[in-house]
């Protein structure tokens, strides 16, 4: 069966000479070994992320964990810089999805490749969060991770089979038209995806869910925040419009 033409095109573009994406990865596991094949990756520390301007040369940030660990929180300074960096598309995997990347089916590997294609389509400021990185991306979580607040939502305490993890992952209506999940064979079943959390987010962002209806894969685009100068121009425009209407009225 023909794989995703769109995903392949983006990966070819970034894999060509001089076009490999520059990825900052917090955590060392199967995700890094997958992406290093076609892209330049840098394992980054909290201290580096806390340095202003450190992320400026990167195209995307991946927040995951070391091996099968449960991950760690970012410091306040690192979180602030990551939050300022993320300006484009994001994909969140609510579960230990990286554990299944090397499975014989290849479906989870395809998911992560297409997720990267999606976040790179905005050229800069993309974000992929797996397990810990997905919970931290929300405005609140109960695992004690410092929230990045990229989107509104809450993750309850994570753990084995929490939130439906361990059950089959099925597409939602949103996932049927998403470039992240296209051509992946759903339902996705794996005994390696078994840790997760109950997550409350906007249903329109949910591409796939566990059998209990809880979000498993979440994706979307960060709404840009206008610069102060933009607000000023908007204000001047409204004043001019109001003045023009007054003149027409009189």
Q: What confidence tens digit (pLDDT) does each residue in 15-32 have?
A: 433 368 999 999 999 999
| C-alpha torsion angle, residues 189, 191, 196, 200 (rounded to 10) | 20
CB 88 within 8 A of CB 119: yes
Q: Return the pLDDT at 225.
A: 52
**This model's pTM is above 0.95:** no
Q: Return the pLDDT at 229.
A: 55
Is a pLDDT exceeding 80 seen at residue 4? no
Q: Return the pLDDT at 16.
A: 34
Residues 32-48: pLDDT tens digits? 999 999 999 999 999 99
- Report the mean per-residue pLDDT for the chain: 87
Q: Return the pLDDT at 189.
A: 95
Per cent of the chain over pLDDT 90 is 78
**Residue 240 CB: number of other CB atoms within 10 A?**
10
The CA distance from 134 to 99, in Å, is 15
Closest C-alpha among 60, 190, 32, 184 to residue 118: 60
Q: Return the pLDDT at 5.
A: 42
Is a pLDDT exceeding 80 seen at residue 217? yes
Residues 50-88: pLDDT tens digits? 999 999 999 999 999 999 888 999 999 999 999 999 999
HSE, side-chain direction, 13 A CA sphere, residue 128: 27
Is a pLDDT exceeding 80 seen at residue 13? no
Residues 93-147: pLDDT tens digits? 999 999 999 999 999 999 999 999 999 998 779 999 999 999 999 999 999 999 9
The CA distance from 184 to 113, in Å, is 11
Q: Return the pLDDT at 183.
A: 94
Is a pLDDT exceeding 70 seen at residue 172? yes
Q: Return the pLDDT at 122.
A: 80
């Amino acid at each position: 069966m023909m794989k995703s033409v769109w995903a392949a095109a983006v990966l070819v573009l970034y894999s060509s000479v001089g076009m490999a994406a520059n990825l900052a990865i917090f955590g060392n596991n199967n995700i890094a070994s997958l992406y290093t094949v076609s892209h330049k990756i840098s394992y980054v520390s909290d201290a580096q992320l806390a340095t202003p301007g450190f992320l400026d040369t990167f195209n995307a940030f991946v927040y995951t964990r070391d091996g099968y660990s449960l991950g760690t929180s970012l410091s306040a300074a690192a979180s602030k810089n990551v939050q300022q960096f993320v300006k484009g598309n994001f994909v969140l995997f609510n579960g230990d999805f990286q554990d299944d990347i090397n499975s014989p089916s290849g479906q989870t590997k395809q998911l992560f490749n297409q997720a990267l294609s999606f976040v790179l389509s905005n050229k800069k400021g993309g974000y992929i969060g797996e397990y810990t990185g997905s919970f931290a991306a929300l405005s609140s979580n109960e695992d004690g991770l410092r929230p990045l607040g990229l989107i509104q939502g809450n993750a309850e305490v994570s753990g084995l089979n929490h939130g439906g993890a361990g059950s089959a992952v099925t597409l939602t209506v949103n996932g049927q038209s998403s470039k992240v999940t296209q051509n992946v064979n759903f339902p996705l079943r794996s005994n390696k995806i078994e840790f997760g959390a109950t997550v409350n987010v906007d249903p329109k962002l949910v591409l796939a869910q566990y059998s209990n209806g809880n979000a498993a894969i979440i994706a979307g685009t960060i709404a840009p925040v206008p610069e102060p100068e933009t607000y000023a121009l908007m204000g001047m425009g409204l004043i001019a419009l109001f003045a023009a209407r007054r003149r027409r009225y009189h």
